[in-house]
Amino acid sequence: MSHGIDASAKATSIGSLELHALSLRRHILRMAERVGQGYVGQGLGIADLLAVLYSREMKYDPKNLAWLDRDRFLLSIGHYSIGLYAALAEAGVIPVDELDTYGADQSRLEMSGSEITPGFEMTGGSLGHGLGQAVGMALGVRLDKKASRIFNLLSDGELQEGSTWEAAMAAAHHRLDHLFAFIDCNNQQADGPPGQVLNVEPVQEKWKAFGWDTQRINGNDIHAIVDAIDAAKENSGKPHAIILDTLMGKGVRTFEERDKNHFIRVEPDEWRLAREQLEEYAQPRHRGSA
Amino acid sequence: MSISKSKSGVTGNILSSHVDGAERTATAPFGQALIREAEANPRIVGLTADLGKYTDIHLFASRFPERFFQLGMAEQNLIGAAAGLARTGFVPFATTYCVFATRRAYDFIAIGAALGSANVKIIAGLPGLTTGYGGTHQGIEDLALMRSIPNLVVIDPCDATELGQVVSAIARYEGPVYMRLLRGEVPVVLDPDTYQFEIGKAKLLCEGTDVAIISTGLMTARALKAVSQLNSSGVSAALLHVSTLKPFDIEVVLALVKRIPRVVTAENHFTTGGLASAVADAIVDAGMAVQLKRVGIPNCFCESGSIPYLVRRYRMDSEDIANAASELMRGTARRE
């Protein structure tokens, strides 16, 4: 193949995917430590999905981002950009060194990501934008008779935006079975858990009622993510919603246990502990995959 | 207060056209022009939010069913999906009414379409007082809202002639555009053999020396009548048609105003935030002393009713433009 990466040829074993996710988590900690704050909890929580998408599932060419046959990843939730920057750096889309500019003045890596960053297909952050644009892209690539797929990452809190449901209806009506929505249910939004802010459950039943193929899995279990995507691909005629129950701060125990972890502020002396905890988390995985 | 029972004074059907007393009309100039462009450019696609036959895009849908997407009553998704199509290399024309596009989908126009300059064409029907339905359907502040969005081109065409030319121009232009739509039977006012629309260019339609009328959209048709009325009463009026509100042709506007510092603006929109405000900004920024009168909709939600009634009620007719010009002339005479 002259261009384009079939990610499945690059990293297939669960062990190597876990190592990839660990690399993303290390990048995320480094970015957040530099600025002393950030959406580190979200990034750590979604690292497993990003590892599977960018090193196994998606077709893209880091040297030719405009490749027409590429799969497209749309980040609705702009504040999760810390995770996507890490994934894009690992994928060779942006230089790893550039991660040190996260959130800095004049950096391309904004705290809430936008399409000024290479590899960002759209601007999210004002929540509820991703799925609508995903619908348009899915209509577009189908009209062009491309095999491209569209992946959209949403959050549980984002389900409160009505535009998400406008798009959900349209995707099912137009039978966009090459469209995959991942809904990160980390049970935390700006003002608290969705159950207290505005209940979004039952999430899976809602998507099913809107005419989607649905699954709900542990979003921090790489095996489960791989299986869910493979199962969705076998199911034609409907768009696919894969609901991920994730733990914010996954891999760093003190972040996992923090009460209010939508936007984490960390004292300078806590970062060393965080890094140590991440390596502790990684240890049994290394052994398991060896 | 007596209530009129005459049939001429009732709110029309939402689908009805208002030809404004025009001698010549064209049918569905937007739909016809879009088909023409789409025959030459296979990347053009159409979308609507349950207003296909109300925005004349149903003609495109019949001609190119595979390139047309019905998205139902969901304007946020209409604009979002159009942005997604643009980002896969298509040229989407998305239709709804002004009120729904700009009020319901503002964030989607701003962030989805304009922030990244996605190649989205938003075609918005029922501008200003072209529907007898009241505050829910009359697009009275859409130009103000759209003018405030960076990267967005904002156009208010005068008639069928210009509308067709605008469709052709924006299909070739790379970037987001908001165009006000005149649908159904649309007056033919401008001569297709001599008039040529260009994005961002104001056009001097009448030369004059006493008063300068600057108009946009369908008000230019009424302004042309006002010029005749003024001429017959001995007032020489120039008429500048500014169909592109953004980018605004400051140079041409200022050149005219410098020559004739008595200006009447006329727009089918609030007199704030639209054409009059753009003209006033240009004048003030240039440090000019100019007398300005604004014809347009005052800052209120308008009544429902027949269109002729509404045009009279809100002083939007050719006589109102001519009267404003005459008042400026009388004021000048008094001072002199």
Q: Which residues of A touch B69 (CB under 8 A)?
A: 139, 174
The chain B residue lying nearest A164, using CA atoms, is B77
Residue A289's pLDDT is 46
B169 in the same domain as B36: yes
B66 touches chain A (CB under 8 A): yes
Residue B246's pLDDT is 98
Residue B1's pLDDT is 46
B257 in the same domain as B118: no
Of B187, B218, B247, which marks where a domain is finished?
B187
Q: Which residues of A touch B116 (CB under 8 A)?
A: 114-115, 122-123
Q: CB of B293 within 8 A of CB of B328?
A: yes
Which residue from A125, A129, A141 is facing B80, i.e. has the nearest CB? A129
Among residues B51, B55, B36, B142, the alpha carbon closest in space to that of B98 is found at: B142
Residues A107-133, mean pLDDT to the nearest whole number: 96
For residue A7, is pLDDT > 80?
no
Among residues B278, B287, B293, B294, the alpha carbon closest in space to that of B332 is found at: B293
The backbone torsions φ and ψ at residue B29, rounded to the nearest 5 degrees and listed phi first, read -60, -30
B295 in the same domain as B178: no
Nearest CA-CA distance, residue A157 and chain B, Å = 18
What is the tens place of the pLDDT at every residue in A86-105?
Answer: 999 999 999 999 999 999 99
B109 in the same domain as B231: no
Q: Is the ipTM of this complex over 0.90?
A: yes
Which residue from B76, B88, B115 is facing A123, i.e. has the nearest CB? B115
For residue A9, is pLDDT > 80?
no
B157 in the same domain as B43: yes
CATH of the domain at B252: 3.40.50.920
Q: Classify domain A12-289 by CATH number.
A: 3.40.50.970
CA dist., res. B178 & res. A182, Å (int): 33
Nearest CA-CA distance, residue B78 and chain A, Å = 8
Q: CB of B291 within 8 A of CB of B262?
A: yes
Residues B208-223, mean pLDDT to the nearest whole number: 98
CA dist., res. A244 & res. A221, Å (int): 9
Of B155, B187, B219, which marks where a domain is finished?
B187
What is the tens place of the pLDDT at every residue in A194-211?
Answer: 999 999 999 999 999 999
What is the tens place of the pLDDT at every residue in A198-252?
Answer: 999 999 999 999 999 999 999 999 999 999 999 999 999 999 999 999 999 999 9
CA separation, residue B281 to residues B204, B274, B321 (Å): 20, 11, 21
Burial label, B240 (beta-carbon count in 10 A; 0-12, 13-18, 19+): buried
Residues A39-59, buried b or exposed e (16+ Cβ, 10 A)? bbbbbbbbbbbbbbbbbbbbb
A5: confidence class by pLDDT, cuts 50, 70, 90: low
Residue A249's pLDDT is 95
Can you read off the two tokens belonging to residue B252?
A: 């041409």
Among residues B102, B89, B95, the alpha carbon closest in space to that of B69 is found at: B95
CA dist., res. A188 & res. A73, Å (int): 23
CA dist., res. B155 & res. B143, Å (int): 9
Residue span of the structural domain in which B274 resides:
203-335
The chain A residue lying nearest B104, using CA atoms, is A163
The chain A residue lying nearest B71, using CA atoms, is A170
Name which of A133, A148, A165, A179 to mutate to probe chain B: the one with the most chain B Cβ atoms within 10 A of its Cβ.
Answer: A133
Residue B7 in domain:
no
Measured in whole angstroms, the distance separating CA A273 from the mean position of its chain's CA atoms is 25
Q: CB of A177 within 8 A of CB of A133?
A: no
The backbone torsions φ and ψ at residue B26, rounded to the nearest 5 degrees and listed phi first, read -125, 150
Q: Are the Cβ atoms of A132 and B79 closer than 8 angstroms? A: yes
Q: Are the Cβ atoms of A126 and B107 closer than 8 angstroms? A: yes
Nearest CA-CA distance, residue A130 and chain B, Å = 8
Can you read off the two tokens belonging to residue B325?
A: 């010009």
Residues A139-170, buried b or exposed e (16+ Cβ, 10 A)? bbbbbeeeebbbbbbbbbbbbbbebbbbbbbb
Spans of all domains in chain A? 12-289
B171 in the same domain as B49: yes
Q: Where are the alpha helices (DSSP H) in chain B?
A: 29-40, 58-63, 75-86, 98-99, 106-107, 142-147, 160-172, 219-232, 250-259, 275-285, 307-313, 318-335
Q: Which residues of B touch A169 (CB under 8 A)?
A: 72, 74, 77
Higher model confidence: residue A147 or residue B22?
A147
Residue B271 in domain:
yes
CA separation, residue A224 to residues A14, A44, A49, A221 (Å): 10, 17, 10, 5
CA dist., res. B270 & res. B46, Å (int): 30
CA dist., res. B336 & res. B332, Å (int): 6
Residue A260's pLDDT is 66
The chain A residue lying nearest B94, using CA atoms, is A136
Name which of B44, B71, B104 to mutate to probe chain A: the one with the most chain A Cβ atoms within 10 A of its Cβ.
Answer: B71
What is the tens place of the pLDDT at every residue in B177-189?
Answer: 999 999 999 999 9
The total number of structural domains in chain B stands at 2
B305 in the same domain as B215: yes
Q: Name, in order, each residue with C-beta under 8 angstroms of B70's C-beta and a sequence gap of 6 or more.
A: B47, B48, B50, B52, B61
- Our CA angle for B317, B164, B127, nearest 5°, is 40
Residues B56-89, buried b or exposed e (16+ Cβ, 10 A)? bbbbbbeebeebbbbbeebbbbbbbbbbbbbbbe
B216 in the same domain as B178: no
CATH of the domain at B145: 3.40.50.970
Other C-beta atoms lying within 10 Å of the C-beta of residue B205? 20
Which residue from B71, B80, B89 is facing A133, i.e. has the nearest CB? B80
Residue B10 in domain:
no
Instruction: Identify the three-state secondary structure at position B195.
Output: coil
Q: In what order do the strands lie in the sheet with B244-246?
A: B68-70, B44-48, B91-97, B121-125, B177-180, B153-155, B244-246
Instruction: Identify the three-state secondary structure at position B233.
Output: coil
B210 in the same domain as B154: no
For residue A11, is pLDDT > 60?
no
CA dist., res. A49 & res. A153, Å (int): 10
The single residue listed with the structure tokens 């300068």 is B212
For residue B87, is pLDDT > 80?
yes
B157 in the same domain as B94: yes
